[in-house]
């Protein structure tokens, strides 16, 4: 059943002039990040494929421009096409990532020139197009959609940097240390109905819609994501060598590929080390574990006597306010994230220690639900009741079903424009190059309230 969203959205209160300024700032921030990620390497690195799992960085940059041209310049603006000859080359559905280096890609200089030309036209269109009367432009949705698309590719490019060999080229300050003291291991989430999804978020994507009521049985959820220290206990206990903790598919994949630790981890005489953006460093055991697949997360949860939360459970823990019965935009409220709330925006190139963001906790007391690491859930990717594809089927509709698993919450590589309490990410359960971690949950026993 579709219901009214219960969050308050500040974007809806903006004047048309302020809304245009907000959209322009979001587009500019995304482009600054794209430029920083691509200018950090030389042209040879820009056109090289650093992993078969990823596109060359120069493809990502031109694809960003191509999507912007298709939607903002041609559709919203009704302007003449700049480069119709490259539409097929940069169509993500036409060419697998492994095959993209063989395409006649634009070179680095031509790519930079192209995306600049597209952006100049987009800004002119933003200044002049009516922001009402058409669903695609209502509340500047198309500009928000393109901002999120670019920021999503910025996170993809950051993952490519993590796979890149060679000297470090990206640098950022360390995230804050824990400021919460010792946190309880888990938090009780009461059973009952809550509002999931949104009908009020102007820039929400189609798979987040519509708002609808769902019932969830009482459960407990980890106060924070599983740390590297806790995960190392699973490793050191032989968890990767014992099939009883693994699903049949997970064990088969682990065995076939010789996986014996999270990606980028290596055991040394003095403990566990990792490679992080070209730096080889000892792992901080207080940070959330990252670069684990769904299968690894599932195995750890079984070893710990717990399970992964469902998507419904995750969202209730993140958004439900028991004092008011309403669902918030974010765990801390309806206001946009700040550096006090969450580790977002590639400000820090690593997860922060558990307890580093007390201001970002949910009303129930669950920490770090937004930022740091994408969190695997046990749920597959399905449409909500009343789903309607918009503005094109290929964003969500074609992915429903299959073996995808939902991830929630964003990571340190995710921008504030591309995350909220309703945002749904999805990927294959084997994926480890993404900035993925998890937290565990368990059923509440009858009468148990924490």
| 362 token code pair | 């949910």
Q: Is the pLDDT of residue 34 over 80?
A: yes
- The answer to whether the peptide bond before residue 357 is cis (omega within 30 degrees of 0) is no
Q: What is the pLDDT of residue 6?
A: 58
What average pLDDT does this structure show over 129-145?
Answer: 95
> Quick one: pLDDT at residue 448?
85
With tokens 């049985």, the residue in question is: 217
Q: Which domains does the chain have, with CATH numbers?
A: 10-163 (1.20.120.450), 172-450 (3.90.1580.10)
Residues of the chain with pLDDT > 70: what percent? 98
Q: List beta partners, residue 443.
A: 219
Q: How many CB atoms lie within 10 A of CB 117?
A: 15
DSSP 8-state assignment for residue 355: T
For 223-272, the pLDDT digits (tens) are 999 999 999 999 999 999 999 999 999 999 999 999 999 999 999 999 99
Q: How far apart are CA 1 and CA 39, in angstroms?
A: 48
**Of the given ranges (1-5, 241-245, 436-440), which has the lowest mean pLDDT?**
1-5
What's the pLDDT score for residue 150?
98
Record the pTM: 0.96
Band (11; pLDDT cuts 50, 70, 90): confident
- Read off the pLDDT of each residue in 63-79 and give the average, rounded to a whole number: 98
Give the per-residue pLDDT at 176: 97
Per-residue pLDDT at 5 exceeds 60: no
pLDDT interval class at 1 (50, 70, 90):
very low
Write the pLDDT tens digit of every residue in 375-395: 999 999 999 999 999 999 999
**Look-up of token digits 């924070």:** 224
d(CA 173, CA 201): 32
């Amino acid at each position: 059943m579709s219901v009214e969203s219960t969050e308050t959205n500040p974007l809806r209160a903006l004047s048309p002039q302020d809304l245009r300024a907000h959209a322009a700032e979001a587009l500019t921030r995304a482009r600054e990040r794209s430029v920083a990620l691509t200018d950090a390497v030389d042209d040879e690195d820009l056109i090289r494929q650093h992993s078969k799992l990823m596109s060359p960085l120069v493809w990502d940059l031109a694809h960003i421009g191509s999507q912007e041209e298709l939607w903002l310049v041609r559709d919203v603006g009704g302007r003449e096409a700049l480069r119709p000859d490259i539409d097929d080359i940069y169509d993500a559905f036409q060419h697998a990532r492994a095959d993209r280096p063989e395409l006649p890609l634009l070179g680095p200089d031509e790519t930079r020139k192209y995306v600049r030309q597209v952006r100049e036209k987009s800004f002119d269109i933003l200044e002049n197009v009516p922001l009402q009367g058409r669903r695609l432009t209502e509340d500047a949705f198309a500009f928000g959609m393109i901002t999120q698309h670019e920021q999503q590719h910025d996170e993809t490019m950051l993952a490519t940097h993590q796979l890149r060999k060679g000297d470090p080229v990206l640098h950022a300050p360390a995230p804050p240390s824990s400021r919460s003291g010792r946190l309880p291991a888990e938090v009780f989430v009461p059973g009952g109905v809550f509002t999931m999804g949104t009908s009020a978020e102007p820039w929400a994507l189609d798979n987040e819609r519509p708002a609808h009521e769902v019932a969830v049985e009482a459960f407990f959820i980890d106060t924070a994501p599983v740390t590297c220290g806790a995960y190392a206990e699973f490793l050191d206990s032989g968890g990767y060598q014992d099939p009883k903790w693994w699903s049949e598919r997970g064990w088969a994949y682990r065995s076939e590929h010789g996986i014996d630790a999270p990606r980028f981890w290596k055991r040394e005489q003095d403990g566990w080390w990792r490679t992080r953006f070209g730096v080889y460093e000892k792992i901080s055991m207080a940070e959330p574990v990252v670069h684990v697949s769904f299968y690894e997360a599932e195995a750890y949860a079984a070893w710990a006597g717990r399970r992964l939360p469902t998507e419904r459970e995750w969202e209730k823990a993140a958004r439900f306010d028991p004092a008011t019965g309403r669902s918030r935009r974010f765990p801390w409220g309806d206001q946009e994230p700040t550096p006090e709330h969450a580790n977002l925006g590639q400000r820090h190139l690593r997860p922060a220690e558990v307890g580093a963001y007390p201001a970002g906790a949910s009303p129930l007391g669950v920490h770090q639900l937004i930022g740091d690491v994408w969190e695997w859930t046990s749920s597959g990717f399905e449409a909500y009741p009343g789903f309607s594809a918009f503005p094109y089927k290929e964003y969500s509709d074609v992915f429903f079903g299959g073996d995808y698993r939902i991830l929630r919450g964003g990571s340190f590589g995710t921008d504030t424009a591309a995350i909220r309490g309703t945002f749904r990410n999805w990927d294959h359960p084997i994926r480890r190059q993404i900035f993925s971690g998890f937290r565990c949950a368990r059923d509440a026993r009858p009468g148990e309230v924490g």
